[in-house]
Amino acid sequence: MALKAARAALLLSLGLCAAATETTAFSVGDKVQSNLVIEGKQIPLPRGEWLVAGASVQEVKLVESGPQGAVRTVILAQILNGKLSALAEINANLIPVENGWGQSGACAKGDQFLLVTRYRSDWDLSCVFVVATALADASGPAAWTQARSVLSKANVVLPETALTAGFRASDRQDVVELRLHFNPALLSGVPSRDASVWTADSVKTRPAQRRAVETLSAWALGVDGWIDRGLGNEAAREPIEGPQRTAILSETPLTDRKLADLEALYNRGAIDVASLGKQEMAALSERPVLTKDAGGLSASVRKAVSYRFFSAAVDYVLAYAVTLGGPVSAGVAASIVTVHSIIFVVNDQLWDGYYAWTAKPDASRVIDFVHIGQTR
Amino acid sequence: MRTARSLAVIGLSLAGASHGAQAQGVTAGQIVTREIVVAGKPTPLPPGEWSVAGVGAGSITTGDSESAYGLIWNVVLMRPTADGRAVDAMIELNVNDLGVSDGWGLPSNCARKDIHLARIRYKSGWDASCFFITHSHWDWRKTATPAWTDAVRHARSRGWTLPQASVTSGLRVANRRDVIDARFHFLPAFHGIAEPQGAAWSQSPWRMTHLAMDERRSGFARTLAAWTELTSGYMEAGLKRRLPATPLPNPGVDAQTPERDSLVKQRLAALERLRKAGRISQANFDEQARMLTENKRSSASSSVDPAAVAASKTITYPPLAAASNLFIDASWVGQPFTAGVLLLLQTAADGVKFYIHEWAWGSLVGGPHQRDDARALDFAHEAVDG
């Protein structure tokens, strides 16, 4: 344990000495490293050299709160000994908007191995998911068709299925969706050309596959914050580490960075020891406030039930104070509970609906892009 | 695990030492132009050479952040006049050092009704953009923050005369991680408007109620309002670390810079470029241009205040409940007088218990997962502005 920790610190220190480069202009065939800048947004990538294999623009399905302009799709490939190590599929908006980028189908509950929504409101979203992606055919955006051609000419062997860590981050102005498709053989140690082993049920019964999913999930949850930061052009100064390297370093790189920054402020005398202690405690438990409650019938019913208990007690006391009769007071309280329950839910629903309508008519709109393995 | 984290943090501290020294990005006495970068976040500056007069820790006076933001940097800049005898404009910045995950609130001034202008561009529990224009009076015998103490010393050491009053354009932009709060103080004397000596804030000719009758001052206030709206776009871009290439102009000049075009025109131009490049179809362009023209910049993007929702529900619920109580009490009690007394008591209690319940749900049950109400969060500032 101590050895692993010491090695972690050493590797981390050494790793940080290599500063990140930032690539803003590139074209197909170029080799780039993290951070890539697409349309004014940093895209943090795992350490190493990436080949720009495909690039295209796709129109976005329009919603009334638009316009969304269009989205740029870039596909990068990391190649190891003639075999595909990983693909990075990036979608980023071309024009900033005013009203956010809505929700994403990939962030809705489905058959993902992992789905975590860091935060979600009407105007921003951050989620991370792990899924299996078919690479066997050319379904997907035009950039993928181009990338397949480039990789084929370079005699790069593609796996049939990739294990994908996906990140969607959006705020009022911008959106970035980064999908990192890893060659599962590198994560599980087991070559796999059979897509069927990467179904949810199959993974549960296969230790190597399960371990690969767990490794990728742990990694994705550790680095998802960097994707958010890239949206605000404050990504890490160094490349993020890949899943295998992260497994021996730190599973909480963001927290470690925050603690280090606090320590640096303290060492410079910018904050005192009391503030340092308080903020270190806060940093250890810091999480985004997850989501805005969408309201709906269940919330109203729960509120109605709690209100009834509270209200019935008050009504009984009032009725007893006036009538001095237990049965009559109980009857009055019971009748009020029944009738008022109906009035309460109707009143609650009407006002919630009204305010939801005035605040944002299409708050839950879904804006999705075409991805590798998908058709629109 | 704890040992591993400690060692990892040591590693990060060693590797990030140089970054730590640069986090603040500015030092007192430095001259900056076009922009100033504090804690990695750029703020645009009007033309001229700005002297960093004071740098120190700021403080939060209203509200609080429960996250680890490191500290709030409080930076004061001064722009001397050409003859070097006075200060013609000042800027006060408050910027967080470390990003948080829970957002920042709005300044109280953005909700005021007694100042020349207060406008909220958007607000939610996690992000905000607003600006205001007011007038400020200065008492240099006492200062609010260490940065201002240094700034006064800085000005006096250079023989600059400090103002007694200024017109202030305040802007706040915030997202889930960061906040930039800027106050630009312009001296009316350098815009050809003489200031009466010794007038209190409430008696100032810049007071909103006085402005309507003062053409010169109201004209300057309008100019400053247009400039402030323009600057809000720069500030929002600065928060994302992508300031426009065109420098921020002074209030009332440089009328034809591209950024002075409305955002709608800029977006239309961007769409046009996409269409010409063949990236979007003509039909798609037409549809998006229509949306942009109809929706404009008004984004309807402010979250609803839960207190307003609770108040609305409270207003309509009691009459409905009282009407039903009338029938219930009459049928169970029978005696009109007793039923009437009971009805009055129930009616009086209904509104109170309903509001208490709504408040408890919003604050206690729904609170941690539904904090989409914009908070007030103020920093310590110099000057009297209200």
Q: How do residues B83-117 score in pLDDT, each as one tens digit?
A: 999 999 999 999 999 888 878 888 888 888 888 88
The token duo for A365 is 């709109």
pLDDT above 90 covers a percentage of chain B that reads: 24
Residue A2 confidence class, pLDDT cut points 50, 70, 90? very low
Question: For residue B276, what pLDDT band results from cuts at 50, 70 and 90?
Answer: confident
More confident residue, A50 or B59: A50
Is A313 part of the contact surface with chain B (CB cutoff 8 Å)? Answer: no
Q: pTM (2 decimals)?
A: 0.75
For Cα atoms A51, A56, A59, give the angle at the middle one, nearest 5 degrees: 150
Residue B8 has pLDDT above 60, yes or no: no
What's the pLDDT at A78? 94
Identify which of A365, A368, A369, A376 has the alpha carbon closest to the alpha carbon of residue A65. A365
Please answer yes or no on whether A16 and B12 come within 8 Å at the CB atom: yes
A113-117, A286-290, A333-337, B268-272: least confident range: A286-290
Q: Say which residue, B171 or A23, is predicted with more confidence.
A: B171
Torsion over CA: A40, A43, A44, A48 (sign): negative
* CB-based contact A259 B19, cutoff 8 Å: no
Give the number of other CB atoms < 10 A from CB of residue A83: 15
Q: Indicate which of B274, B328, B335 best probes the interface with A, i.e. most A CBs within 10 Å of its own CB.
A: B328
Per-range mean pLDDT, top range of A19-33, A179-193, B258-272, B351-365? A179-193
- For residue A108, the 8-state DSSP code is S
CA distance B271 to B290: 11
pLDDT at position A75, please? 95
Pairwise CA distance, residues A259 & A265, whole Å: 10
Mean pLDDT across the stretch B345-354? 80
Is A309 within 8 Å of chain B by CB?
no
**Predicted local distance difference test score (pLDDT) of residue B364:** 66
8 A C-beta contact, residue B330 and residue B379: no
A257 touches chain B (CB under 8 A): yes
ipTM surpasses cut 0.90: no
Confidence at residue B181, expressed as pLDDT on a 0 to 100 scale? 95
For the beta carbon of residue A84, count every other beta carbon within 10 angstroms.
Answer: 22
Cβ separation of A6 and B97 shorter than 8 Å? no
Question: Among A124-133, A248-257, A279-288, B222-231, whose mean pLDDT is lowest?
Answer: A248-257
Give the per-residue pLDDT at A1. Answer: 39
Structure-block tokens of residue A53 = 């294999």
**B70 in contact with A, Cβ within 8 Å:** yes
Tracing tokens 């200062």 back to the chain, one arrives at: B143
| pLDDT at residue B50, rounded to an integer | 96
Least confident of B203-217, B333-347, B365-379: B365-379
Question: Which contacts (CB < 8 Å, 24+ apart) does range B343-352 have?
Answer: B345/A318, B345/A321, B345/A322, B346/A315, B346/A318, B346/A336, B346/B321, B346/B322, B347/B318, B347/B321, B347/B322, B349/A314, B349/A318, B350/B317, B350/B318, B350/B321, B350/B322, B351/B314, B351/B317, B351/B318
Which one of A6, A123, A335 has the shortest CB-CB distance to B124? A123
pLDDT band at A328 (very low <50, low <70, confident <90, very high): confident
What pLDDT score does A358 carry?
Answer: 65
State whether B267 and A347 contact (CB < 8 Å): no
- pLDDT band for A8, please (50, 70, 90 cuts): very low
Per the CB < 8 A criterion, the answer to whether B41 and B130 are in contact is no
Residue B46 CB neighbours (<10 A): 21
For range B211-231, the mean pLDDT: 86
Q: How many CA atoms lie within 13 A of A354 on its CB side?
A: 12
Q: Which of A234, A272, A298 to mutate to test the interface with B (most CBs of B within 10 A)?
A: A234
CA distances from B315 to A351, B181, B213, B308, B310 (A): 11, 37, 40, 11, 9
pLDDT higher for B283 or B154?
B154
Q: What is the mean pLDDT of residues A320-338?
A: 87
Q: How far is Cα B54 from Cα A342, in angstroms, rounded to an integer?
A: 62
* Cβ separation A289–B126 shorter than 8 A: yes
Q: What pLDDT sits at residue A154?
A: 92
Residue A296: count of CB within 10 angstroms of its CB: 11
Contacts of B175 in chain A (CB under 8 A): 171, 232
Contact call for residues B55 and B24 (beta carbons, < 8 A): yes
Shortest distance, CA A188 to any CA of chain B (angstroms) = 24
Contact of A249 with chain B, judged by CB distance below 8 Å, is answered with: yes
CA dihedral A242, A243, A244, A248 (to 10 degrees): 100
Are the CB atoms for B222 and B252 separated by under 8 Å? no
Region B189-206: what's the mean pLDDT?
77
Tell me which chain B residues have a C-beta less than 8 angstroms from the C-beta of A340: 321, 324
When mean pLDDT is compared over A77-86, A252-261, A286-295, the highest value belongs to A77-86
Cβ separation B321–A258 shorter than 8 A: no
pLDDT of residue B342: 86
Show Cβ contacts of residue A158 under 8 Å, excluding neighbours closer than 6 positions.
A84, A135, A136, A148, A151
Per-residue model confidence (pLDDT) at position B4: 46
Residue A35 confidence (pLDDT): 83
* pLDDT given for residue B262 in this prediction: 57
Is it the case that residue B145 has pLDDT exceeding 80? yes
Shortest distance, CA A40 to any CA of chain B (angstroms): 7
Classified as helix, coil or strand, A183 is coil
**Does residue B39 surpass a pLDDT of 70?**
yes
Chain B residues whose CB is inside 8 A of the A256 CB are 5, 8-9, 12
Is pLDDT of A288 > 70? no
Residue of A nearest to B289 (CA): A67
Q: Which of A103-117, B189-203, B288-302 has the lowest mean pLDDT?
A: B288-302
Please indicate whether residue A128 or residue A64 has the higher confidence score (pLDDT).
A128
